[in-house]
Structure 1
């Protein structure tokens, strides 16, 4: 049995557009418990960047040190998400084998990989949580 990325990827995604702010992303991660947010071009649906919780925390901590707590929310509202987002990221295709993708997760310690089509349009995300859910399912099937 060869499992593919599309067998476990998350397709119901919360996405940001390029005009979003750090405040927008921070709110979404707080309210929805999401750790990875793709940034997508609204017109084409193409992936342009990825915002990770780690990058957001680093930016917020830096702003807190520079500006203090009183103006943090104002600074977040004025910070473009594109200043926080990672523009250099790896993607996978929905028909890639999971056994190949899991090696990437282990070797690079990434928490997510965007799943795109041939034209770089976002189809979904595969996350470390998706792999944990798969492991739980497989373990339960063994019992």
Structure 2
């Protein structure tokens, strides 16, 4: 029996999107030069993309230099857990029709700040895994030969 293959199950793209839709907090990873940054953002799934709002600052500056990002979301219970990573390109919505449409979506800041900018992450790749939680197998017991 291989505990690893039974405890870790790859998710299909459809399963990844279904799990992303159940959450509203993720982590955006940016990369500029030798600097990696990670930002918690509240988000929503919009037509197979990730949409979030932000104020002027580091996130917008960094994606204007390098739009390649990672976006990670996970969740867990006592019995199971999962993680989804979205690799893609982030861009600020600039056309008025895109912004007007985004304004109709239920995406509100979690903290009392004004966030005028919408950012969309368009995926190039999804990867996800589901995990069955449990006790660690005995590492030091009698080994099978």
TM norm structure 2: 0.29
User: Could you say which structure has the higher helix fraction?
Assistant: 1
TM norm structure 1: 0.29
User: Could you say which structure has the higher strand fraction?
Assistant: 2
